[in-house]
Structure 1
Amino acid sequence: MASPGSQEFRSSLAPPSSQTPGVSPVSPVPLGLQVPLESPQSDSLKKESSSWIAEAELKSRRQTIRFSLRPKSSRRLSQRSFNAFNELAKLGDPDLLEMVEQEGLTAREIDYAFQQSETLGSKETSFLIPEDLQSPPEKRFNLFLRRRLMFQRSEHSKDSVFFRDGIRQIDFVLSYVEDVKKDGELKANSEDGKTYFVKIHAPWEVLVTYAEVLGIKMPIKLSDIPRPKYPPLSYMLGAVKLPSSVKYPSPEYFTAQFSRHRQELFLIEDEATFFPSSTRNRIVYYILSRCPFGVEEGKKKIGIERLLNSNTYLSAYPLHDGQYWKPSKTARPNERYNLCKNWARFSYFYKEQPFHLIRNYFGEKIGIYFVFLGYYTEMLLFAALVGLACFIYGLLSMENNRTSTEICDPDIGGQMIMCPLCDEVCDYWRLNTTCLHSKFSHLFDNESTVFFALFMGIWVTLFLEFWKQRQARLEYEWDLVDFEEEQQQLQLRPEFEAMCKHKKMNPVTKEMEPHMPLCHRIPWYFVSGTTVTFGMALLLSSMVSILVYRLSVFATFASFMESEATLQSVKSFFTPQLATALSGSCLNCIVILILNFFYEKISAWITKMEIPRTHQEYESSLTLKMFLFQFVNYYSSCFYVAFFKGKFVGYPGSYTYMFNIWRSEECGPAGCLIELTTQLTIIMIGKQIFGNIHEAFQPLIFNWWRRRRARTHSEKLYSRWEQDHDLQIYGHRGLFYEYLETVIQFGFATLFVASFPLAPLFALMNNIMGIRVDAWKLTTQYRRPVAAKAHSIGVWQDILFGMAIVSVATNAFIVSFTSDIIPRLVYFYAYSTNSTEPLSGYVNNSLSVFLIADFPNHTVPMEKKDFVTCRYRDYRYPPDHEDKYSHNMQFWHVLAAKMTFIIVMEHVVFLFKFLLAWLIPDVPKDVVEKIKREKLMTIKIIHDFELNKLKENLDVEYGNIMKNVLVDEDNSLKAKTIV
């Protein structure tokens, strides 16, 4: 039997009491989401149509949810609605509980309906925020009944995003888990037997209220500004373009911030579709994030995120609008299917992206990331073409390169005896054994290297300046011109509030809010700084360990390859230097990927220790730390090879040693540039391959495993919210890792690009594939993220500007100190005596002479040879000179030329950079004009609307006045007649 009484629930967002016992309700939040408390009841389900009471009770051994719905008016229904109600009652339709006469209820009163669906196989608790009725309640109720009769429960699609009435859209879903063993119940009506889903619907009155609060811009008039025209010769790119219906899914409108008091101003054709689904879930999430659910130590506990962090609720997510592999059967378009068809297909890798469709479905924050990634990929195409041309030039000129020719010549390189590369175990060797190595070096170390370094310095400037224009155009097209930070980003973090014991007056809001004095923050900053320092030290120690590995195994490789007769055939190209470089680079790549995993956790923990005040401060602090860790982790080995290896070696008889044990590494006769290229190639390509495999297969495997564990019933019971529940969580930091990956790749493509002109090409191919992988993940493998606004890429733009400046310096130093370009030019213009072949004799000139008798006993090779001298790479005086083994004058000439080139290149590139930044406006002229036009039209439309509204009010008032005047005159005439 049902309890005779009923309990009205008018409280705040309360968690399931089985998860957080003892939570007490707090005062109502206007137009907020409200959740019933749970109380013991019986297990009967009772319908009383005579008294118009609908009661639903669910028995639990511990607690029961009870709902009671009562009309507040005795007004009789029409005969049609009465007949419809009786017909449904005879059919025993449990959805009768949803049919409640709305008369007398206000928008601030909450109705709840408990539903138990045998068709969908889930226990669904629906928390409804009802509408403020603008039409007579009887009319609305009649319409509801007629629509409900037309909607057959047997035809309800498992993929539907609506309640069973087919009218109310499910805007958000919360899930929580009941402990089956603890309750002693069999939850047979959910897929895993214990998961419950809370479905949230925000009706019109809530949407219009919070659209005004959030300042959401909505259309007021069809725009008369034409869309941007395609540039000349764009018809040649017809295969790349998407259909106009996909590229521009909706026409352009003049927009204005929504106002519920000016609803007639906006183009509202259908209230159900006026607000797109992304806006609806953003509004609901805003309410959830601010809704209180209890009190702890005199402080309100606020927000769904806090409940998720405490595992009270398992998840909170908006629904995808349908399946991604088939279109929707309803009239409403399935945007997820359209995105998967036109964006997430790998066969469409050459197509442009449907940015407006992405923005409409996922929100501006995700949309602007893909715009940036697409723009970055487009710009990489130009850098890749120039880099490929430079590589082809090196390939074509490789056989005719004078330096390689002399090294490979048996009469020149074959007669030069080189000093041992390590102590004792390494033997003397002939220069021509590095013939193939010198040819490979020429592929990247040639005259085009200088040109490409200069080109990339200008390219990176154009990339950033044109991005500012693209971003400004995007702000106009997506109504982000007057954008202000989301209030959620500026809201105080719960962790900050929990740690604060003081309050301070906010000068803006004039309200008391939590405050943490600096003296209380200093210990946390100390912990954070110590941890960062320790992390950096660990990164440097890992690099030193790799260096020690390279130094220790080089001698092993050298002695092994010298003693093994089977390796004599490959010694011409697989030298000890190459073997050490390849193995060291592969090991370094593995260490980088391992450390990367730990530093992600460490960065999040450090940022948490600093107790940032707002979510925005938290994200900025985390971004800075993660980037610093990743920068050192990925680039430290490249910086070592580019700027330190071979620079502080010493000379035979006076070598420098690391820890007085291992002799410093030397560069080969052709320089260290080929080793930098090897290092960069392995780390960059290895990271990209691992990243793509990880991004593609991790969600696929995890989703398959979750579905496999969750499925206990037939396919027909698998509802839309359960399908989405089994997908991966995108999370608030989902975009953070995408941006970080892109910025790290940008560093590989710019910081060391002088040593590897093919880096932009590999980055381009990775991005072409990465865009489709990210699109596929978002549309098929992840839950739908909550839509959020953003007008730029945020702090990442400042990081890119900083890396662009550093890249100019690094490439200038690579050309000067890592490549052999400057020494060859100095010899060409100052020391060559052969006018026909100016570089003839360069190899002999670049190698100094050492007397073998001057070797210390502990360094001389064990095997004795019959020659007297050996050669080594440096500019020093010979042993018969009075300043033997000291740097000669050519060394200082080369050094001066190197420094001069660095200064000239930096000044030229920075001059072009500032000149281009001055010439290229941040906001294009046509965008400025369009913004002015839209502001003018918006003001005019609002002015006309208010003027017409004022006229209507004045006409009504004038009519009433004239009516009263006529009545008074009539009464006066009657009075005079009587007199």
Structure 2
Amino acid sequence: MSSRETNLLINEESTPAKRYNLFLRRRLMFQKNEQSKDSIFFRDGIRQIDFVLSYVDDLRKDAEIKAERRKEFEQNLRKSGLELEIEDKRDSEDGRTYFVKIHAPWEVLVTYAEVLGIKMPIKESDVPRNEDTPLTYMLSAVKLPASVKYPHPEYFTAQFSRHRQELFLIDDPSTFFPSSARNRIVYYILSRCPFGIEDGKKRFGIERLLNSSTYLAAYPLHDGQYWKPSEPPSPINERYILHQNWARFSFFYKEQPLDLIRNYFGEKIGIYFAFLGFYTEMLFIAAVVGLACFFYGLISMQENLSSIEICDPEIGGKLIMCPLCDTLCDFWRLNSTCLASKFSHLFDNESTVFFAVFMGIWVTLFLEFWKQRQATLEYQWDLVDFEEEQQQLQLRPEFEAMCKHRKMNTVTKEMEPHMPLWNRIPWYVLSGATVTLWMTLVVACMVAVIVYRLSVFATFASFIQSEASLQPVRSFLTPQLTTALTGSCLNFIVILILNFFYEKISAWITKMEIPRTYQEYESSLTLKMFLFQFVNYYSSCFYVAFFKGKFVGYPGQYTYLFKTWRSEECDPGGCLIELTTQLTIIMTGKQICGNIKEAIFPLILNWWRRRKSRTNSEKLYSRWEQDHDLESFGHLGLFYEYLETVIQFGFVTLFVASFTLAPLLALMNNIIAIRVDAWKLTTQYRRPVAAKAHSIGVWQDILFGMAVLSVATNAFIVAFTSDIIPRVVYHYAYSINSTHPLQGYVNNSLSVFLTADFPNHTLPVDKPYFTTCRYRDYRHPPDHIDKYLHNKQFWHVLAAKMTFIILMEHIVFLFKFLLAWMIPDVPKDVVDRIKREKLMTVKILHEFELNKLREDLGVQPSELQKHVMIEANKAKQAKRTI
């Protein structure tokens, strides 16, 4: 020890107070040095850290106000029974952050476990798991070890009661409540703890303190490092087990440890991964069938008579087509679209109808089997009676703080905060107007993209066609397809930009509506976001599928957009290939951008945050500091995961008739997404507060609505966008060759126009002149009495299309209703298990009360029965006397 330190030590020991402070400082320094950086305990190494709050000294004008709020808030936390330990900023890695560590002692846990109605084990279940099936042995490669899949045995459970603690299986009080239940209890206290009175109103809740930057963060700790198991005396590191068996990409083919996910992150996150996993499993079936349909189109491509005729120099090479735009576009030969027509056959063939019907049935099976899976999880995770708890306990603190009125709850018969309807109406009006405005903006952007396509179409046509368009050239990049590619890319960029701004606005408006519960908040935000993203992502696909090429007119009488741009025409083979291109670009681009955003952004942000904070390497980089430097998952983290999945579900179902590989793309994306989500939750995000949920909520109703809508959209795509119905009509009503029924179809589907009837301003400038040209439609020729009017074949085709739509919808809906009626929402074995558990719970509770009464009376079981009979007789005699 140096002389300076010796003199300082003598001076400090001159008074008892200084000597005590020196002793305390040395003791804390010793324990700090002895403490492991992975410790999740207080300095005594006994009390486990259940929650952490962090803050920094604020040098602005409101610093004193924030300090006073923190002081009162922490005092009230101590009054509620929580134990706090504060880490000074001088001991933190960055030298500026304070950490408040919170521990919930046993009395607090048992009290609030009863308040929250948490179910705890009372006896090990005697109902065996239904795991030993032939399919189980066949799929043993994808199975996880039993110790990982089922970390705990199944129990009969009951709502915890602190007055019946002997009833529950309490081996060790420190580990009886899992860490997820502990952090849920502490957060419940934090969200309702007051911190002062401002403007005559009582202020409370950690969320309000976080919003005002009084605290920087509030989070529960992870169990330990994700790359190594914990060492004694720390509990089992479930984070490490999850990372090893769930979050690694090499385990992409393995099932998910759903029970372990639920134990660590809570039921709300667990049910999301259960849904995503089940959806991915069902996508495998759809992907296999879609891939088979794609291979059918690939094999039959060379035998497609329509493509053969288009590519034939003697047929397609001699068909002169009318210009695709005014003035700048030239006449062109049909065989210039040879490769495009072959490519179109991949997705526009006989298997398209089969696949559209199959997907209508598949989506019904998916939703019905998911109901069963959800019911099974409700039983296994003790969520059967959760709905009543949700209504009573999940009141938003912000709602309570803003309410000036109180009203009697007709169910609980208690006074509770109430917000009159007239106070919310202005915000509801603003909310509806904002959503309508942004959806209108999406439509306006789509129109702008259409104008772009129309504006540049002539340029692409002049480049690609030029003089070569009149030669027997086979070009894949037709003007329509080239414009569709660039227009789809531009549309996708616009979609991303609009999404970015709308997310901020919708969250703010929803908060201003002051929803009563968290469930109401999420439901309101879900409605806004889904309506917007439905229009944002699908509007361009709806345009190509149902509007493009349907209102073009005919040469000499074209329709014009804003009296300037001629309406877009479809390729001679139809608009299906353009719909496929649009769908592929938007769907693939969204999935790639989503995975990059979810994987790369948290990694970069965490790296930068650690780099900024690691300034004093000699100090202990503690467990709470490591978690503090991670990204926050947030209240809406799961909301955006559901939204992304539901939008993908729309791509898979609404337009699947145009792109049979959509389920395969979704399957590959989800296999990656499950591991990306698992990786970021276990390594890149702070541990979320555990929350309960018995279902996927309002998303299930949205999925059901999209499933019904998908039947209609796919029927219309096959009828009006695909070329199947016109070919069928030609085959049975107009074919002149019995050996090859589709021979001559291409020529039959093109009408004749007399070029002399072109208005002068639409004719090509300095281009070869032809007496007639062809265009895609069913109209009478120029020498007919009903010149250029729709012919009889047009009405036959239209009648066939409408008949097909009606038949397909009725057949698919009939199957949907039959399947929904035949498949019960709750499996029979689950119903039996629920009945068995209720029976056993009542029996165990009854025996417990009888034994307790016997102990209080000090009598034997047989004497107890006599005593009960005597008391019953006394009660009857007293009743007769009265």
TM-score using structure 2 length:
0.90
The match for 2:549 is 646
1:168 aligns with 2:9: no
Shift of 1:862: 1.2
Matching residue's letter, 1:946: E
In structure 2, what residue type is equivalent to 1:329?
E
Alignment-derived partner of residue 781 in structure 1:
684
Residue 875 (structure 2) aligns with:
none
Q: Distance in 1 between matches of 2:781 and 2:574?
A: 21
Instruction: Report the Cα distance in structure 2 between the residues aligned to 1:389 and 1:719, rounded to whole angstroms.
Output: 55
Contact 1:485 1:790 in 2 (8 A): no
Secondary structure, in 3 states, of the residue corresponding to 2:142?
Answer: coil
Aligned to 1:471: 374
CA contact (8 A) 1:119 1:717 kept: no
Distance 1:314 1:526, change over 3 A: same
Instruction: Establish whether residue 300 from structure 1 lines up as the match of residue 179 from structure 2.
Output: no
Q: Secondary structure at the match of 2:214?
A: coil
Distance 2:12 2:266 in 1: 45
Partner of 1:389: 292
Q: Does 1:224 align with 2:103?
A: no
Matches within 5 A, 1:373-772: 373-484=276-387, 491-497=394-400, 499-563=402-466, 572-714=475-617, 717-772=620-675
Confirm or deny: 8 A CA contact 2:558 2:566 kept in the other structure.
yes
How much does 1:212 deviate?
Answer: 0.9
Residue 825 of structure 2 aligns with which residue? Answer: 922
- Find the counterpart in structure 1 of residue 251 from structure 2: 348
> What CA distance in whole angstroms lies between the structure 1 residues aligned with 2:411 and 2:152?
39
SS of the equivalent of 2:102 reads strand
Number of aligned residues: 830
Aligned runs of 1:770-809 on 2, under 5 Å?
Answer: 770-809=673-712
Among 269, 278, 287, which residue is 2:171 paired with?
A: 269
Separation (CA, whole Å) in 2 of partners of 1:188 and 1:954: 60
Cα deviation, residue 238, structure 1 = 1.6
Distance in structure 2 (CA, Å) of the matches to 1:820 and 1:204: 71
Q: Which amino acid aligns with 1:369?
A: Y
Give the Cα separation in 2 of the matches to 1:348 and 1:949: 51
Q: Distance in 2 between matches of 1:311 and 1:301?
A: 15
Residue 522 of structure 1: CA displacement?
2.5
The percent identity for this pair of structures is 79
**Secondary structure of the equivalent of 2:101?**
strand
Q: For residue 553 of structure 1, what is the amino acid of its counterpart?
A: V
Cα offset, 1:493, TM superposition: 3.7
Q: Given that residues 490 and 616 in structure 1 are in contact (C-alpha distance below 8 angstroms), is that contact kept between their aligned partners in structure 2?
A: no
1:177 to 56, 80, 88: 56
Q: CA 1:955/1:744 → structure 2, altered by over 3 Å: closer, same or farther?
A: same
Asked whether the equivalents of residues 31 and 43 of structure 2 are also in contact (C-alpha less than 8 Å), the reply is no
1:162 partner letter:
F
Deviations 1:784-807 (A, max 9, x none): 000001000000000000000000
**Residues 430/957 of structure 1: CA separation in 2 closer, same or farther (3 Å cut):** closer
Aligned-partner Cα distance in 1 for 2:666–2:530: 19
**Letter matched to residue 481 of structure 2:** L
Q: In the alignment, what sits opposite 1:834?
A: 737
Residue of structure 1 equivalent to 2:4: none
Letter in 1 for 2:172: D
Give SS of 1:239's match. Answer: helix
2:36 pairs with one of 157, 162, 167? 157
Letter in 1 for 2:370: W
Task: Measure how far apart 1:863 and its partner are.
Answer: 2.7
In structure 1, how many angstroms separate the alpha carbons of the residues matched to 2:289 and 2:603? 38
| TM-fit CA distance, 1:765 | 0.2
- Other-structure match for 1:329: 231
Q: Deviations over 1:16-71 (max 9, x none)?
A: xxxxxxxxxxxxxxxxxxxxxxxxxxx989998xxxx99998xxxxxxxxxxxxxx
Q: TM-score, normalised by structure 1?
A: 0.82
Answer yes or no: is the 8 Å Cα contact 2:245–2:251 preserved in 1: yes
2:458 maps to amino acid: A
List per-residue Cα deviations over 1:552-576 (Å, max 9, x = no partner). 1100111123349899999611121
One-letter identity of the residue aligned with 2:140? G
**How has the CA–CA distance of structure 1 residues 118 and 697 changed in structure 2, closer, same or farther, with 3 Å as cutoff?**
farther
Residues 366-411 of structure 1: per-residue CA shift (max 9 Å, x gap)? 0000000000000000000000000000000000001101101111
Contact 2:55 2:215 in 1 (8 A): yes
Shift of 1:487: 5.3
2:810 and 2:571 mapped to 1: Cα distance?
A: 31
Confirm or deny: 8 A CA contact 2:258 2:273 kept in the other structure. Answer: yes
The answer to whether the aligner puts 1:194 opposite 2:96 as a matched pair is yes
Q: Which whole-Å CA distance do the structure 2 matches of 1:851 and 1:706 have between them?
A: 71
| Residue type of the alignment partner of 1:769 | I
Bigger mean CA deviation after superposition, 604-613 or 262-271: 604-613
Instruction: Judge conservation of contact 1:159–1:322 (CA < 8 Å) in 2.
Output: yes
Task: Give the aligned partner of residue 713 of structure 2.
Answer: 810
Match of 1:251 among 153, 158, 161: 153
Q: Given that residues 457 and 909 in structure 1 are in contact (C-alpha distance below 8 angstroms), is that contact kept between their aligned partners in structure 2? A: yes
- Whose Rg is larger? 1
Q: What secondary structure sits across from 1:188 in the alignment?
A: helix
Q: The residue matched to 1:717 in structure 2 has which SS?
A: coil
- Partners of 2:48 and 2:241 in 1: CA distance: 20
Q: Secondary structure at the match of 1:326?
A: coil
How much does 1:471 deviate?
0.3
1:73 counterpart residue number: none
1:490–1:945 CA distance, 2 compared to 1 (3 A): closer
Residue 297 of structure 1, CA deviation: 3.1
Asked whether the equivalents of residues 489 and 614 of structure 1 are also in contact (C-alpha less than 8 Å), the reply is no
Pairwise CA RMSD: 2.7
Structure 2's unaligned 5+ residue stretches are 1-10, 65-87, 865-882
Cα distance, 1:889–1:493 mapped onto 2, change above 3 Å: same
Given candidates 201, 204, 214, the residue that maps to 2:106 is 204
SS at match of 1:196: strand
Q: Which residue of 1 aligns with 2:260?
A: 357
Unaligned runs of 5+ in 1: 1-42, 58-88, 97-115, 121-152, 962-979
- Return the structure number with greater relative CO, CA threshold 8 A, min gap 6: 2
Q: Which has the higher helix share?
A: 2
Task: Name which of 781, 790, 794 aligns with 1:887.
Answer: 790
CA distance in 2, matches of 1:913, 1:956: 63
CA distance in structure 2 between the partners assigned to 1:514 and 1:159 by the alignment? 43
Is it true that 1:907 corresponds to 2:810 in the alignment? yes
